[in-house]
A and B are shown apart, each in its own frame.
Chain A
Amino acid sequence: MTDDTPNTGIHPSLSAMRNKPASVLIIGSGPIVIGQAAEFDYAGTQACKAMREEGVRSILVNSNPATIMTDAEVADAVYIEPLTVPVLERIIARERPEGLLPTLGGQTGLNLARELADAGILEKYNVRLLGTPLRAIRQAEDRDEFRQLMNALGEPIPTSAIVHTMDEAYAFAKEIGFPEVPLIVRPAYTLGGTGGGIAHTWPELDLVVQSGIGASPIGQILLERSLVGWKEIEYEVMRDAADNCITVCNMENFDPMGVHTGDSIVVAPSQTLTDREYQMLRTSALKIIRALGIEGGCNVQFGLDPYSFNYIVIEVNPRVSRSSALASKATGYPIARVAAKIAVGRTLDEIPNSVTGETTAAFEPALDYCVVKIPRWPFDKFPHGDRTIGTQMKATGEVMAIERTFEAAFQKAVRSLEMGSRTLLWEDASWREPEGLTRIWSLIDTPNDIRLWALMAALRRGVAVAELHRRTRIDTWFLDRLACIHALEQRLLREPLTPGLLWDAKRRGFSDAQVATLSDTVQGLPDRVRELRDQWQIAPVFKMVDTCAAEFAARTPYFYSTYEVENEAIVPPGKSAIVIGSGPIRIGQGIEFDYCSVHSAWALRDAGWGSVMINSNPETVSTDFDTSDRLYFEALDEESVLEVIRNEAGGPGKPMPPVIAQFGGQTAINLAGPLNRLGVPVIGSSVDTIDLAEDRRRFERFLDGLGIPQPPGTGVTSVSDAITIANHIGYPVLVRPSYVLGGRAMEIIGEESDLERYLTNVVSPTEKSPVLIDKYLQGKEVEVDAICDGEVTLIPGIMEHIERAGVHSGDSFAVYPAINLAEAIVEQLVSYTERIAIGLGVRGLVNIQYVIHQGQVYVIEVNPRSSRTVPFLSKVTGVPMVRLATHIQLGKTLREMGYSGGLWPRQNLVAVKAPVFSMSKLIGVDTYLGPEMKSTGEVMGIDHTFAPALYKAMVGAGVISMTPSKTSTPGLLLSIADRDKDDAVPVIKQFATNGYRLFATAGTARMIRTLGLAVREVGKINDGDHTITELIRSGEVTLVVNTITGGRGVLQDGFEIRRVAVETRIPCLTSLDTASALASSLSLGANDYSVLPITEYGKPRG
């Protein structure tokens, strides 16, 4: 038919607009922080693939090594360098790209593009800004220009004022009748709403306005009338240069306005909008993207009055975003890939829809399922932080679930959160107390991370949906769905379990574990529920996400489970293996594990195996539909994973495919044992190897057998044992629960009373879950990652930590290669690592942490799985660690792959990994570094020598600026614990030499004066004045160094200093080692560092 169509091609006038660039610079988003996570790795990786398809040379820059996009094979030139204007200028000068694509690196990328333009660099090198015009960046981001644009378009926006000072804020507040009308503060040019907030009272207004002005790089905020209670709706829209516009998806927030969309439960598509409302907002979104002139993707957020057609435009993001990643995964429409192609001149109807293979990108996805996203908050790690959620985003990650009903999708999403084994049935113990309902209501009235459980608890206590709606303004449609879940809970409690009841429960998303908890029939045994399901033929089927509601045949196998009739996930012939992903991004389990999962899937393909991915995280590359041969978007719990495996087996009684549990962090490794017990072949290191490494007593005997020392200590199962052991080995001791990642609840404890506090309030030892107590040995910490095939052990590299042992490895600066270790120590590390890997029976990756205490090497921890440092080490050494490990698990040996054992040759380069924190988003969380991990991301500084590598790591992590203010001198505020004072002397001297003005608390100031240095003494906070706070806020201080002795009092004392520093965005170092390293890199000149593609470092320099 198309042959007869007069003109199916593109109109000739379009070709005039085309000017495809030969090369494009793509800016990544830098380290993972709250508000800017793995979604930009996904976007950037897609963009690089798109450039390759279009024949455009791609040049990528990002400071974050734990990303797929920074793999040498993804882009044509990869720079792992700090994201600053001077660095970018050098890259541009070297590569001379014709275009700059700034819309895929989040707010970081957009801001940097604006700065490059403002500095005249784009003009100087004749670089075209692609995708989003500079004017649109300003119009969308600058509150004043945004308001002007919306007024010109006739699009409604909230009553608001642009404010730069407190006085302006007061004036506006009085004008609109504050405090009767609450006010929202939104700082300009920040990501994730950093520094924003709601004010109901005058003191609150002072606080949020000041914080907001401080957070905005241009000191500008928007004050607006709060629209709490309105529906919040988002549209993802796309536009090409021919002015073709489509919407990819709309989404409705479960939480009404007032909660940041990144912290909201979000549903796609909208559920409570009639077509009239849906189209009204869609039309508005398209009008806005046209007016902005964006060529690519854009996100428009609306507030909609639940009682009229009134709406307002809240915000426009002229770039791909977290929401666009979610929309891509929710619909199968690859927004970033299409946006990148549009940016180099393609029109929507020229871009094939790779899901169907027969249609194009010029259409709007039709969903035939319901998608629920729930944010993952870090409050399991920070129980004392402020857990309320509002306009400032606090979540580190998110999960997505797909099902055919809201109830089932919602329950699946809750299971995907991996909050222990917490299902929707979970209730806090305090809720069952007499005052429980009051506590429940307090959690319902103010949004927080456990509100959804509180809503269920209220329903269980007879609270009516109407009452919940009155207090929360959550739409009754959503609350009715929760009530429907509750009604089924009641049936499961009261009625005997029949095939009919079980079918109904599965259709509403109840897990076998939930059914087992509720139903008397099965004695609390989830396995029994599964047996009944098998007997009654109640099994999930898998449906395809195909962008088109089955209207066209789709060829990209992207599946979700549901209880329906027809199964579409028919397994093709040939061998395949399953990679278990790592779930939502959380502190301690970040993007690094997604990196490993992706590489494992690729390695399976290389080896001629089919690759099957299971994961629940919509932000990531692993859940991109073309990363693996088959993608199952599922919760990572025993039931969901087993059902996928059973489907992949191709029928009952057929052999199950092998499962790889080594790359998905603790999530995957924790599933190895249960799956193994169910007869699933878990390949690689055996379940016994995992247990041997994690069972403290077995591991102790194992090391004894090898004659390798570890700090004295043991696992204890009671408080009295703990105290006996601690007294025996001597304080300080390091305590932690077994089987955790990221050092959760790990502490260094100096005395018995503190140990008692820990064992009563933090973690209680039991027979099933012992607490580990080790002697805390101060010394240099060293980390080794190795690959072992059972006979040969390859050690790609040894990394040395800058901070002494006691700071969690994930929060430490680390250096490759280990530059301060004697050869004898290195030999010992290699020997220990080989003996441990072989002795444990490791097949694949193993990560070992050592401490070197008084010249003696001790083993602190062995993890028989991939680690956080694998992407970093793979990149700097060139050893494809995950690929080798995957091939080993499939049966190959290192020798067969051309590798021999021992330490891989040291590369002729130095790479420093620096941790990055998101503390400014987490009110009430202490920032001091200890054994419990607190960082959310990392950056890498790489160079030919240590000093510039460290300098770049410091810059990348935001500890120092590459372009310091020329007008004012830098200021350093010191508050040093007594035990560190001697060590601090050379550090302080070095800062003084580099022109820092010194400020210090009383004791520290006394010590500095004895050195003959000028210092201004400031009173501590609890001295009754607020001098420190005022000093930090005044801007005279540009860096804070605050070390602690432990002990709760001092900790509390420094807490205020640290929080004020964080809230005013001044770097605060809590380890003298970091400060010392920083001081040593200060004297570096502006051009004393290299800017090179990652593959160029380590090559012989001519």
Chain B
Amino acid sequence: MSAPRFILALEDGRSFFGFRALDPGQSAHDDAASGTGGEAVFCTAMTGYQEICTDPSFRGQITTLTYPLIDNYGINADDFESARPWINALVVREYCTGPSNWRTNGSLSTWLGQHGIPIVEGIDTRSLTRHLRMHGAMRASLAPPRTGTIADDDDPGAWINGRTPGARIEAEYLSGIARGLPVLEDQELVEGVSTSALGLVDHDTWAPFAAPPRSRHAHRVVLIDCGVKHNIARSLTRRGLDTVIVPYHTSAEEILALEPAGVVIGNGPGDPSAAALATTVQTLRTLLDGPVASGRMALTAVCLGHQVMGLAIGAQTSRLRFGHRGANHPVRDVTTGRVYITSQNHGFQVDATTIPDASGFTVSHVNVNDGSVEGLAHRELPVFTVQYHPEASPGPQDNQYLFDRFVDSLETIG
């Protein structure tokens, strides 16, 4: 008998049918067997599924990859973006068994299964993506049909096309479950992905592939962790920065006690206006009004950090219909006119019209496709933020220069 059948049912009633992807010898009766729920989103990056699965920003989401062939090169010891996978489930067109790459030391499904995360394959992921594009990211339930509800035939084509007797009824049932799930905005996702205690970023564990730290920059920086990707930390330590990572709720006073020359706030999951992030917003405000305003501290922010910064300066954030998730999004630097290809993963944005003029901030980068805000910069102070991921992983390395810019701004600190 083939792999267990799974249904992906969206809150609007649309459903897709597939099978649990299992490696040879992998048990179908694990923590992932009963399925999950979450926000259904798609990501168009063609490589980097290991990085995507371990990116804490995907927490709470059922992620479909638009590239149809997944696990071609397995997983390896180096390409983690955090200690564990955070997605709720992965939806793919075809899961490959027997990955091939010199660094491969495991298979995606076995590893995700150990964390209770199912991969479902066989789904018409392009159809799913089109649906999400047109109707927006939405809640979904991903689960096997309940015992005895579905005719037990051996016809994968009929199942995938939703023609198996009982399939539609079961899909409607799961859609109902999806409608009962909390929306992303109501979830506290940062707690749990953030570090719980202050710590020094240890170069050897965080950046096994980076060049040894340069001693020239002895600057200390504080990295506020809302679910930060390893490569942000690596990108800092690689430049010789003495990086201290702190929990997202750390106060300005606690940060100042560390005497940093700069502060970085990284990426993370969910809605920037979530209640839990109120302290983070307050921390940033305090820093902006104090040491930053007086020219004693540089500040930069990435992704969720950029949105939180937007809130701190008095702007508002809103949801994008289906988000930007991929490795091919063009962003224009409005000062130079130059266009950069960026790695992105976000479902919220800072609204350009709500940026108070008095804040001193302007839009520094815009998305070439939809004109949305991709970066903010202060007119005078050493503060800039980007919505996209200069650390990439996965995606183009073209924006690493922003970390250099941050280091340069540290040099100007008195």
A binds B: yes
Residues of A within 8 A of B (CB): 1-2, 4-11, 13-14, 242-246, 269-276, 278-279, 282-283, 286, 306-308, 347-349, 358-360, 362-370, 404-406, 475-477, 480, 498-500, 502-504, 536-538, 543, 548-553, 563-566, 568
A1056 to chain B, nearest CB (A): 47
B interface residues, tally (CB under 8 Å)? 75
B72 touches A275 (CB 8 A): no
B103 touches A274 (CB 8 A): yes
Select the stretch in B3-11, B43-51, B255-263 that faces chain A. Answer: B43-51
- Supply 4 further A-B pairs (C-beta < 8 A) apart from A274-B73, A565-B124: A276-B78, A347-B339, A405-B69, A500-B158
B68 to chain A, nearest CB (A): 5
* Pairs A-B, 7 closest by C-beta atoms: A11-B337, A503-B157, A275-B48, A566-B127, A2-B371, A549-B66, A275-B394
Answer yes or no: B154 CB below 8 A from chain A CBs: yes
* Chain A residues within an 8 Å CB radius of B352: 1, 4-5
Q: Which residue of B lies closest to A286 (CB)?
A: B398
A480 touches B102 (CB 8 A): no
* Chain B residues within an 8 Å CB radius of A566: 124, 126-127, 130
A425 to chain B, nearest CB (A): 22
B302 to chain A, nearest CB (A): 18
Instruction: Out of B126, B332, B372, name the residue touching A550 (CB < 8 Å).
Output: B126
* Chain A residues within an 8 Å CB radius of B136: none
Answer yes or no: B327 CB below 8 A from chain A CBs: yes
Instruction: Out of B47, B98, B102, B337, name the residue touching A10 (CB < 8 Å).
Output: B337
Tell me whether A272 and B124 are in contact in the complex, defined as CB-CB below 8 angstroms, given that A5-B366, A550-B133, A551-B44 are known contacts: no
Within B370-388, the residues touching A (CB, 8 Å) are 370-372
Cα distance, A712 to B129, chains bound together (Å)? 66
Please name 7 pairs of A and B residues whose Cβ atoms are closer than 8 Å in the assembled complex, sorted by A. Answer: A5-B352, A11-B335, A274-B47, A480-B100, A503-B156, A536-B157, A565-B16
A279 touches B127 (CB 8 A): no
A364 touches B338 (CB 8 A): no
B46 touches A366 (CB 8 A): yes
Instruction: Out of A5, A244, A367, A475, name the residue touching B46 (CB < 8 Å).
Output: A367
* Chain A residues within an 8 Å CB radius of B155: 498-500, 503
A349 touches B330 (CB 8 A): yes
Instruction: Out of A278, A279, A404, name the residue touching B94 (CB < 8 Å).
Output: A404
Tell me whether A242 and B326 are in contact in the complex, defined as CB-CB below 8 angstroms, given that A1-B352, A5-B371 are known contacts: no
Cα distance, A568 to B392, chains bound together (Å)? 33
A941 to chain B, nearest CB (A): 46
B79 to chain A, nearest CB (A): 6
A360 touches B126 (CB 8 A): no
* Chain B residues within an 8 Å CB radius of A14: 337
1/0 per residue B8-52: CB within 8 Å of A?
Answer: 000000001000000000000000000000000010111110110
B126 touches A551 (CB 8 A): no
Answer yes or no: B147 CB below 8 A from chain A CBs: no
B230 to chain A, nearest CB (A): 13
B363 touches A367 (CB 8 A): no
Answer yes or no: B252 CB below 8 A from chain A CBs: no
B7 to chain A, nearest CB (A): 13
Instruction: Out of A347, A349, A499, name the residue touching B158 (CB < 8 Å).
Output: A499
B100 touches A279 (CB 8 A): no
* Chain A residues within an 8 Å CB radius of B125: 368
Cα distance, A263 to B25, chains bound together (Å)? 39
Residues of B within 8 A of A (CB): 16, 42, 44-48, 50-51, 66-69, 72-73, 76, 78-79, 93-94, 96, 98-103, 124-127, 129-130, 133, 153-158, 160-163, 326-330, 332, 334-341, 352-353, 362-363, 366, 368-372, 392-398
A363 touches B334 (CB 8 A): no
B347 to chain A, nearest CB (A): 14
B126 touches A564 (CB 8 A): yes
Tell me whether A476 and B100 are in contact in the complex, defined as CB-CB below 8 angstroms, given that A1-B352, A549-B44 are known contacts: yes
Q: Which residue of B lies closest to A566 (CB)?
A: B127
* Chain B residues within an 8 Å CB radius of A563: 157
B67 touches A564 (CB 8 A): no
B369 touches A359 (CB 8 A): yes
Cα distance, A365 to B329, chains bound together (Å)? 10
B52 to chain A, nearest CB (A): 9
Cα distance, A10 to B335, chains bound together (Å)? 10
* Chain A residues within an 8 Å CB radius of B94: 404-405
Cα distance, A502 to B51, chains bound together (Å)? 36
B259 to chain A, nearest CB (A): 35
* Chain B residues within an 8 Å CB radius of A564: 124, 126-127
A476 touches B332 (CB 8 A): no
Tell me whether A275 and B328 are in contact in the complex, defined as CB-CB below 8 angstroms, given that A499-B157, A537-B161, A549-B129 are known contacts: no
B133 touches A553 (CB 8 A): yes
Cα distance, A283 to B153, chains bound together (Å)? 50
* Chain B residues within an 8 Å CB radius of A480: 98, 100
Tell me whether A368 and B79 are in contact in the complex, defined as CB-CB below 8 angstroms, given that A246-B341, A362-B339 are known contacts: no
Instruction: Out of A363, A498, A550, name the residue touching B328 (CB < 8 Å).
Output: A363
* Chain A residues within an 8 Å CB radius of B330: 246, 349, 360, 362-363
* Chain B residues within an 8 Å CB radius of A362: 330, 339, 341, 368
A319 to chain B, nearest CB (A): 22
A993 to chain B, nearest CB (A): 65
B67 touches A368 (CB 8 A): yes
* Chain A residues within an 8 Å CB radius of B154: 498, 500
A242 touches B338 (CB 8 A): yes
Instruction: Out of A242, A359, A364, name the residue touching B337 (CB < 8 Å).
Output: A242
* Chain B residues within an 8 Å CB radius of A5: 334, 352, 363, 366, 371
A565 touches B328 (CB 8 A): no
B46 touches A369 (CB 8 A): no
B72 touches A364 (CB 8 A): no
Cα distance, A1028 to B363, chains bound together (Å)? 76
* Among A8, A11, A551, A552, residue most surrounded by chain B Cβ atoms (within 10 Å): A551
B372 to chain A, nearest CB (A): 6
Cα distance, A347 to B337, chains bound together (Å)? 10
A275 touches B395 (CB 8 A): yes
* Chain B residues within an 8 Å CB radius of A306: 102
Tell me whether A406 and B69 are in contact in the complex, defined as CB-CB below 8 angstroms, given that A282-B396, A549-B44 are known contacts: yes
* Chain B residues within an 8 Å CB radius of A359: 368-369
Q: Which residue of A lies closest to B98 (CB)?
A: A480
A274 touches B76 (CB 8 A): yes
Tell me whether A8 and B371 are in contact in the complex, defined as CB-CB below 8 angstroms, given that A363-B330, A503-B156 are known contacts: yes
A349 touches B51 (CB 8 A): no
Cα distance, A434 to B384, chains bound together (Å)? 74
Q: Which residue of B lies closest to A2 (CB)?
A: B371
A507 to chain B, nearest CB (A): 8
B336 touches A11 (CB 8 A): yes
* Chain B residues within an 8 Å CB radius of A404: 68, 93-94, 126
Cα distance, A552 to B44, chains bound together (Å)? 11
Tell me whether A368 and B99 are in contact in the complex, defined as CB-CB below 8 angstroms, given that A363-B369, A405-B68 are known contacts: no
Cα distance, A308 to B101, chains bound together (Å)? 10
Cα distance, A498 to B69, chains bound together (Å)? 26
Q: Which residue of A lies closest to B364 (CB)?
A: A6
Cα distance, A11 to B337, chains bound together (Å)? 5
Cα distance, A960 to B155, chains bound together (Å)? 67
Instruction: Out of A10, A270, A276, A537, name the residue touching B163 (CB < 8 Å).
Output: A537
Q: Which residue of A lies closest to B372 (CB)?
A: A1
B68 touches A369 (CB 8 A): yes
* Chain A residues within an 8 Å CB radius of B153: 500
B395 touches A279 (CB 8 A): yes
Cα distance, A269 to B327, chains bound together (Å)? 14
Cα distance, A270 to B67, chains bound together (Å)? 11
Cα distance, A502 to B337, chains bound together (Å)? 54
B101 touches A275 (CB 8 A): no
Q: Which residue of B lies closest to A404 (CB)?
A: B68
Cα distance, A552 to B48, chains bound together (Å)? 22
A549 touches B102 (CB 8 A): no
A366 touches B328 (CB 8 A): yes
B157 touches A500 (CB 8 A): yes
* Chain B residues within an 8 Å CB radius of A246: 330, 341
B162 to chain A, nearest CB (A): 8
